[in-house]
Structure formats: C-alpha cells, structure tokens
Amino acid sequence: MTTHVAPRRRAANGIGASVAWASVALFSVATTAAATWLSIGTTLARTGSTWLALGWAAALCGAVPLAIAWLRAGRDVARILLVLPGLSLLWNTGWVAALLVAAPGDVARALRMHGAWPFEHAHGATSPNAAVLATAAQWIADTIDDTGRLATTTPAGVGMSVGDAYVLPLRNDGRSITVAVQLEHGARQTSASYLFDTGASFLTMTTRAIEELGVAVPPAARSLTFATATGRREGRMLRLDALHIGPYVVRDVAVSVCDDCGGDGTAGLLGLSVLRRFEVRLDYIGGRLELLPREGASDGDRAYDVGALAEVSLDGNANILFSHVYWQVLVRNASDAWMRGVVPEVRWSTGDVLRGLPIDAVAPGETGRSIVVGSAPVTGTAADAAAPAFELGVARGRFEAKVSPKRP
C-alpha cells in the first residue's frame, strides 16, 4: 500500500504559509494606517496644508515600501505582492517607533489637534465618529507625552504696578467718589464725571452719554445682565476707541449701555473693565485716590473686554467620552472691530479650565472656530445631572488695546 505523505505536507505547508502571509498582511494594514494617521497629523500641525500632508503620507507610508518591494522582487508582480506586506510592516513600524522616540511632544500635539482628521473631512468635525476618534487620539497623546496638554489654567493677569500714579482728590461728602473721564470714538470726544464703582463689571454709560459720542446702539448688540445695588439690570455691550484718565489712555474699552444701572447724577459708572488695568490705592483720610498702570497692561491682551463682546458657543453637543472632550467652539464677534488672537476657554465649576486653539482673526459680525480638547472632570455628557457645570469664555484676545504711559 502506498501513502502520499509529501503532498499532504506540501498542502499543510501551503496553508500555513497562506495563514502567515494573511496575518502579516493584516498587521501591515494596521501599521500602515497608524503611520499614515500620524504622518498626516504631524504634517498638518506643522504646515496646515491638507494636500501636503496627504502627499507626504502617501509617499512615506505607501510609495517607499512599494518601491523597495519593486526593487527586491525584480518587477515580478507575484513576488511584489508576496513581499510587500512584510516590507510595509517593518517600514511603517520602524517609522512610527522612530517618530515616538524622536518627537513624542510633536506626535502628542498632532494627535490632540488633528487626531480626528479622517472623520472630520468625511463627516464633519461634530460627527460622533470624529468625537470618538478624537478621544482615542487624546488618550494616546496623554500616554505619549503629558506635558503638552491643552488643559491649562487661566492666563495670569497683569503684574505689579509701574510708573507714576495719577492722584485724584476725593469729594469728601461720605457718599461717593467721582472721576473725570474723557471718552473718544472716531472723531468725537466727550468729557464727564463717572462714579468710581469697583462693583461694576464694565464701564457703564447712559444712552444720552453714548449718543453724545455719536454712537448708536445697534439692534444686534450683545446684551448682558448685571447684578446692581438696585437689582438685576440689562446692558447692551459696545466698544469705544479710547478712554482717558489724567495722563493715561485705555484703548478699545467694553462699555455697557444701561440707563437704570445707577450713576448718582453722573454719566455712568467707572467699572472693572477700566480699573483692572490699574492698581488702585485709596487714602480716604488723606483725601487721595491713586491710579497706577499695571505692568503688562500694555501687552495688547484684552480678554476681559473681548469676552464681553464675543458670543462663545458650542457647535454640536457637549459630549464627554472617557473623561475627555473634543469640542468645536464658535466665537462670534459682536463688536465693530477685528478680534485677534482669540483663545476660547471652558471653565468648569470644579475649577478646571480648558483652553482652545487660538483663532487668528475674526471680522466684525463674523464667526471664528476653535477646538477645545483635553481632560474633563467627569465621564458621560455635560448634560448629565452628575456632571459639573461649565461656562464658555475667552482666555485671551485683543483689539490692539493698551495703556499708554503719557497722553500727547
């Protein structure tokens, strides 16, 4: 009786080889996808060019292994298909490993900024698939490099006071302090007394005072509600070119137009949108009020004023996946001037703060878009009862505002 052992062994070896080739091919596809993902993300983070990112990834992760296989297989298509999976696996694994070792910070930054690009381009930035992929990218980024998180605290305020103080005599009637203020907008200027009020969030003016500057309150002006000594009041927010106090000038000031906010017979209230640019010293016995401009007050950052004139909202749902957020934030410019370098932020009731990517410029009446990514205090959705409350605001931004040392 004759047995055919060799053909069976050859068949078994053939099946084993096919399984091995299929396994290598499967892993090759996975590593090529990972390498392409990282290549496009890092290139987008550095250049911002989608076409350059796609071309670089195609050449590096696809064309190079194919060229090597072509040379090794001597242009034999069957051999190319046989060796290509293994070469792609080795090449792309080595590329990913080298990238993680050489530049983990760049990889983490790329993942946080562009980790969801496959679904963003196909289905939009607010699609559920994009959010899931972005969350996975953030988790990988946190694992690779925790030092580059976009989750930060609010930027520090201006520093110590510098320069000479502007001394104001106090009206010693035991009731109030008034300050002579000159306002300008366009080609017009007005002068009036304003009530010194550290409880007022913004410079507050009556409708009559704002009309004297030739400024009309537009119907689309942003409306904010304030708590005052006489109850809650609503003010329409505007921007004025400049405010002068003695020798100092504060530019691009957020103003609340409110007739019922209380001015004690004055044109309005001198509030924190102006006073926060100074160190204030009150000597009641000596009858002196001193204003000193603060160091850093001339750096152009006017987040307080920009935040009052910017409508910040989410584009999509406030989903929190695996204690991470990937939110598209919209910033509408409700002022009459360009906003530049706007950095939106999410302030949680727990004290945690997430800052978004800067928006280079937003024209008056237009809307800019930013991405806020990072760790959140809870898992689930921000609408859950157990989730901490949050509010959207502006961490940085400017109208080219400054406090000049002297007025010409």
Query: Of residues 197 and 367, which shows the higher confidence score?
Result: 367
State the average pLDDT over residues 102-121: 73
pTM of structure? 0.64
- Asked whether the predicted pLDDT for residue 355 surpasses 80, the reply is yes
Q: What is the pLDDT of residues 126-159, one digit of tens each?
A: 566 676 777 777 777 777 765 544 444 334 444 4
pLDDT band at 76 (very low <50, low <70, confident <90, very high): confident
pLDDT band at 121 (very low <50, low <70, confident <90, very high): low
- Asked whether the predicted pLDDT for residue 64 surpasses 70, the reply is yes
DSSP H or E run through 182: strand 178-185
State the average pLDDT over residues 240-246: 88
pLDDT band at 394 (very low <50, low <70, confident <90, very high): very high
- Asked whether the predicted pLDDT for residue 348 surpasses 90, the reply is no
Contact criterion met (CB below 8 Å) for 315 and 372: no
Cα–Cα nearest to 228, from 265, 202, 209, 266? 202
- 352-365 burial code (b ≥16 CB/10 A, e <16): bbbbbbbbeebeee
pLDDT at 403: 45
The beta strands (E) that lie in 246-358 are given as: 248-257, 268-270, 278-283, 288-293, 310-314, 319-321, 324-333, 339-348, 353-355
Contact criterion met (CB below 8 Å) for 62 and 32: yes
DSSP 148-179: T-SB-PPPP---SB-SPPEEEE---SSS--EE
State the average pLDDT over residues 255-276: 81
pLDDT at 153: 39
Percent of the chain exceeding pLDDT 90 equals: 9
Supply φ then ψ for residue 308, to 5 degrees.
Answer: -75, -25
Supply φ then ψ for residue 268, to 5 degrees.
Answer: 160, -160
